[in-house]
Amino acid sequence: MVNKNKDLHLGPVMLDVLGTTLTEADRQRLLHPLTGGVILFSRNFESPAQLARLTAEIHALRTPALLIAVDHEGGRVQRFRDGFTAIPAMRELGKAWEKNAAAAKSLARDTGYVLATELRAHGVDLTFAPVLDVDYKRSSVIGDRAFHADPEIIAPLAQALVQGFQSGGMSSVGKHFPGHGHVRADSHHEVPVDDRSFVDIEQCDLIPFRRLIGSGLGAVMPAHVIYPQVDAEPAGFSSKWLKRILRGQLEFDGVIFSDDLSMEGAKVGAGAGGVVARANAALTAGCDMVLVCNDAGAADELLAGLQYTMPAVGQARLARMRGRGNVHDMAQLKALPEYQRALAAVQAIGKREGDLFA
């Protein structure tokens, strides 16, 4: 029998779970004082009802409840399908902008609202979105996940999407700071290097981040990319990028989530010595919470070896990422006129362009 500790502060580690129900090993990891959140994947989803049961069980394990997150951007990155609206890739909103900017912003708000309300109705607190990377037509891992090639178009579309998230009771996570779109290598499997100067990055890639930070972006996820003209460390392990630039110059006071420390792009520099070293390096550089995914052995090693106490400011930042508002089940949600209207708009994206953008 697991001892349910009802007085555990959130820790700095976000982990995954094995399947569609919690195993005893899952419960033990989630009750560890270093754990603060859970990220769900497609393997954790069988049906909407099962997902709601799983998130309820995770939230009931401890007080305050663990954060539950998912990569649910739309397009090819949407972990839950059956019973959920098929969210278009963000590039579709960029295409819509080229026809009618005002209509595209409205569609982005509707998309954010539908995405957020459906996740909230199933007990999910946040999605790791929006992608703020600039589409340089170089990165296959980013590709149509990006809104556009023009940061001056990305920024207002992402702002509108985030407004939709907020209306649906969900915060936002901008990624991949300071920009992953210029490199060809996929940081899941390689160590990407972006040789541009800080000025070049600032004048393009940082524009969406700067604009959204000014309008309430809840969190940022840095890229596992090295920008050697700024720092020898990947951005997620770089105090220059996270403390000096993101916190200092851009005045960001939300959560900084690491990208998955199991990715190949994380296994260099200060993080080359194993998962505990990578977590320490990310937290020291300025991350509030680190992710370790798809490696139960690494998760156990991290929980056993990491020595870290979450500061009060980190606790306060994480608390702001909780899902908010009245959570409807899907039957209640489908009865709401605002949801019905937004759903119809999202389902029509890319289909009746003459009607939508005339």
Residue 196 has a CB neighbour count (10 Å cut-off) of: 18
Residue 272 has which token pair? 């080359």
The contacts of residue 122 (CB under 8 Å, 6+ apart) are 48, 51, 52, 55, 80, 330
CA separation, residue 236 to residues 120, 256, 263, 272, 295 (Å): 28, 9, 12, 13, 19
- Give the residue among 330, 329, 317, 325 at the shortest CA–CA distance from 12: 317
Residue 23 has a CB neighbour count (10 Å cut-off) of: 12
Q: What is the DSSP letter of 241?
A: I
Catalytic annotation present for 125: no
Which one-letter amino acid corresponds to residue 67?
A: L
Determine contact, residues 80/51, Cβ cutoff 8 Å: yes
Residue of 71, 110, 194, 259 marked active site: 259
CA 62 – CA 9 distance, rounded (Å): 9
Catalytic annotation present for 259: yes
State whether residue 123 is helix, strand or coil: coil
Q: Which helix (H) or strand (E) holds 216?
A: none
Residue of 9, 150, 186, 188 marked active site: 188
What Rg value do the Cα atoms of the chain yield, rounded? 19
Render the burial of 326-342: b for 16+ CB within 10 Å, e for the rest. ebbebeebeeeeebeeb
Secondary structure of the chain: what % helix, strand, coil (to 5)? 45, 10, 45
Determine contact, residues 270/2, Cβ cutoff 8 Å: no
Burial of 51 (0-12, 13-18, 19+ CB in 10 A): buried
Catalytic sites, residue numbers? 188, 259
